[in-house]
Amino acid sequence: MSTLLSVEDLQIRTAARPLVSGISFSIAAGERVGLIGESGSGKSLTALAVLGLLPDTMRVTGSITLDGHPVIGARDRDLVPLRGRSVAAVFQEPMTALDPLMRIGDQVAEVVRRRALRDGTKPGRAEIASRVLALLERVALPEPARIARAFPHEISGGQRQRGAIAMALACRPKLLIADEPTTALDVTTQAEILKLLETVVRDEGMGLLFISHDLPVVATVAERALVMRHGALIEEGPVGTLFGRPSHPYTEGLVAAARAFDAALEFAP
Amino acid sequence: MSDTPVVSAGARPKSSMPWPLMVGGLLVGLHLVIALLSLVWTPYAVGDMVGGRLEGPSFVHWAGTDRLGRDLMTQIMIGSRIALVVGCGAVALGALIGVTIGVLAAFATRTLDDVLAAALDILIAFPTLLLAMLIVASSDGASLWTAILAIGIAGSAIVARLTRILAKRILSMDYITAARISGTASPGIVRIHVLPNIWPTLIVNFALQFGLAVIAEASLSYLGLGAPPPNASWGRLLQEAQASVYTAPFGAIAPGLALVSLVIGLNLFADGLREAADPTRRRSR
């Protein structure tokens, strides 16, 4: 399989202090990779760096190659065509991930239209509408026609997150970056969204970079995981090996904590 | 590519119009009708001395006459027109400059943003009257245009500062990042997400600015920096009535009432708009 994303010796720093240092990893086409770490460990910064969207107060060095194009050092204008076609993202907070003044259908339609323009086609209004409905159905939204006409505040958090996933799918990206996409949801919804993400990523053959602080969640979705702490990559490997026989004490601690938590739940009256 | 309307912020419930919007709309509408009427009909011709000096209100002269025996109602009607024209012009100019600068500042690099923010603060601290005097002094005399220019530029600083703050807040939202990631370039982000989202707040601000602009126009005319005669501005009527305010107070009261009714109308209208644009209000039904 060809390499979709390769990050080499990534360093991110502000004027005051380093935030991420010496990170290297790669994601092959269609591979699902989890990025684990506590908050403040630099997970999300790494994701933003991959997208070339870090605030300009931060200095980035190293090299990131996304779908054959360099990201670091590229001008924003050159990155615009790369985004969407190569990569799309789903975020943590479904409330702010959608424009509050646009109907869900219009938001998805905007992405569909832009993606079609990239491909050099200009679909008509009816064509776009039917593609939007198909996408909303794809993410298992009930009554897609009604949801398409709804504003974000009129649907539930889980439905909003499905809407956001539909927008990401509309890009038909090669790599989907999911930054804590289930953290703001309740446990049942969380499980559904995870299943949905896994299915669509597998079906479309997309690569997935799944960022989370939640070990069991990563274990469900990813094939391989990276563990970050204090801005550095401390361990990586297939999910089974990593969680079965962790080699770094920190990972060991994480796994033990997750087990202890499960055990506590089982013994709870 | 913009052949489909993407934003559907309209669709407000028509059944329950907030009362300030209605009263404000009526007051402003009244002035608008009078201003339009003054284009085709006034009780008397503008400069004609048609009555005694400093008469009180009567059936012949509804608002009395000034110190030269000219009909005040005629002048107040024309004053409505001047106030609305200058107000509209100034707000439009202020909006154009202000929104442009504000959005640019929100997108700018940190240094440029700091410079722009500081410049705006200075411009806001700079008195409108002083700015108007500068503009009048550097052009060939006071006119409607200098008044619009001065008030518009002064107002643009406030609009720019507000736009910058609002746009920055929108730009920090995840859906902007999502839009960027899906490959929307900055102009698209402004058109599709930023402007529609800051528009409701800006519109309310424009209505308030309109009221301020009307007052500013009256102040400029009062100082002789507004539209010169024969344009009858309320500010100039007030200034002319000042000499005889103790003997013939109605000469000041009448244009004062006109000014106050329009400004109150505009402020009520702004309040009503804010209420009507409040999304939580829409959500509750």
* Banded model confidence at residue B280, pLDDT cuts 50, 70, 90: low
Q: Which of A121-130, A253-262, B53-62 has the highest mean pLDDT?
A: A121-130
- Does the distance separating the beta carbons of A91 and B196 come in below 8 Å? no
- CA dihedral of B111, B117, B120, B125, whole degrees rounded to 10: -120
Give the per-residue pLDDT at B6.
47
- Does the distance separating the beta carbons of A84 and B181 come in below 8 Å? yes
- Which class would CATH give B19-31+72-279? mainly alpha
Say if B7 is an interface residue toward chain A (CB within 8 Å). Answer: yes
Instruction: Write out chain B residues lying below 8 Å of A110, CB-based.
Output: 6, 179, 184, 192
In the A/B pair of chains, how many CB contacts fall below 8 A? Answer: 101
Residue range B222-246: mean pLDDT, rounded: 83
List the single range of B88-92, B161-165, B242-246 with lowest mean pLDDT.
B242-246
pLDDT at B284 over 60: no
Where exactly are the structural domains of chain B?
Answer: 19-31+72-279
pLDDT at B10 over 50: no
- Does the distance separating the beta carbons of B182 and A100 come in below 8 Å? no
Give the per-residue pLDDT at B15.
52
Give the per-residue pLDDT at A73.
82
Residue range A96-105: mean pLDDT, rounded: 89
Task: Give the closest of B4, B177, B183 to A84, CB-based.
Answer: B183
CB–CB of B202/B162 below 8 Å?
Answer: yes
Task: Give the residue with greater pLDDT, B179 vs B248.
Answer: B179
Say if A106 is an interface residue toward chain B (CB within 8 Å). Answer: yes
Where exactly are the structural domains of chain A?
Answer: 98-172
List the single range of A113-117, A184-188, A211-215, A227-231 with lowest mean pLDDT.
A184-188
List the single range of A216-225, B60-69, B236-245 with lowest mean pLDDT.
B60-69
Inter-residue long-range contacts of B12-19, CB under 8 Å, 24+ positions, other chains counted: B12/B276, B12/B277, B12/B282, B13/B282, B13/B285, B17/B272, B17/B276, B18/B271, B18/B272, B18/B275, B18/B276, B19/B272
Give the per-residue pLDDT at B3.
47
Place of tokens 């910058």: B164
Residue range B133-162: mean pLDDT, rounded: 88
Give the per-residue pLDDT at A267.
67
- What ipTM, to 2 d.p.? 0.78
Residue range A230-239: mean pLDDT, rounded: 88
Say if A17 is an interface residue toward chain B (CB within 8 Å). Answer: no
Residues whose CB falls within 8 Å of the CB of residue A20, separated by 6 or more in sequence, listed in order:
A10, A11, A12, A13, A42, A45, A46, A49, A231, A232
Residue range A19-42: mean pLDDT, rounded: 89
Instruction: Write out chain A residues lying below 8 Å of B198, CB-based.
Output: none
Give the per-residue pLDDT at B4.
46
Closest CA–CA distance from residue B111 to any residue of chain A (Å): 10
Task: Give the closest of B188, B197, B283 to A99, CB-based.
Answer: B197
**What is the SS3 assignment for A233?**
strand
Task: Give the residue with greater pLDDT, B91 vs A18.
Answer: B91
Instruction: Write out chain B residues lying below 8 Å of A111, CB-based.
Output: 182
Inter-residue long-range contacts of B24-29, CB under 8 Å, 24+ positions, other chains counted: B24/B264, B24/B265, B24/B266, B24/B267, B24/B268, B24/B269, B24/B270, B24/B271, B24/B272, B25/B265, B25/B269, B25/B272, B26/B265, B27/B261, B27/B262, B27/B264, B27/B265, B27/B266, B27/B268, B27/B269, B28/B262, B28/B265, B28/B266, B28/B269
Residue range A93-115: mean pLDDT, rounded: 88
Instruction: Write out chain A residues lying below 8 Å of B4, CB-based.
Output: 106, 109, 113, 125, 128
pLDDT at B174 over 90: no
Say if B14 is an interface residue toward chain A (CB within 8 Å). Answer: no
Give the per-residue pLDDT at A83.
80
* Banded model confidence at residue B257, pLDDT cuts 50, 70, 90: very high
Task: Give the closest of B1, B4, B174 to A93, CB-based.
Answer: B174
The percentage of residues in chain B with a pLDDT greater than 70, rounded to a whole number, is 92
Those of residues 224-243 in A touching chain B at CB distance below 8 A are none
pLDDT at B210 over 90: yes
Task: Give the closest of B110, B183, B279 to A57, CB-based.
Answer: B110
Place of tokens 């943003």: B113
Closest CA–CA distance from residue B115 to any residue of chain A (Å): 16
pLDDT digits 0-9 by tens, A47-100: 888 888 888 788 888 999 988 888 888 887 788 877 878 888 888 887 788 998
Average pLDDT over all residues of chain A = 87
Instruction: Write out chain B residues lying below 8 Å of A117, CB-based.
Output: 1
With b meaning 16 or more CB within 10 Å and e meaning fewer, what string describes B181-215? Answer: bbbbbeebbbebbbbbbbbbbbebbbbbbbbbbbb
- Does the distance separating the beta carbons of A96 and B183 come in below 8 Å? no
Task: Give the residue with greater pLDDT, A97 vs A269.
Answer: A97
Q: Choosing among B175, B192, B202, B282, which should be mutated to test the A contact, i.e. which has the most A CBs within 10 A?
A: B175
CA atoms of A12 and A60, how far apart (whole Å): 5
- Does the distance separating the beta carbons of A102 and B6 come in below 8 Å? yes
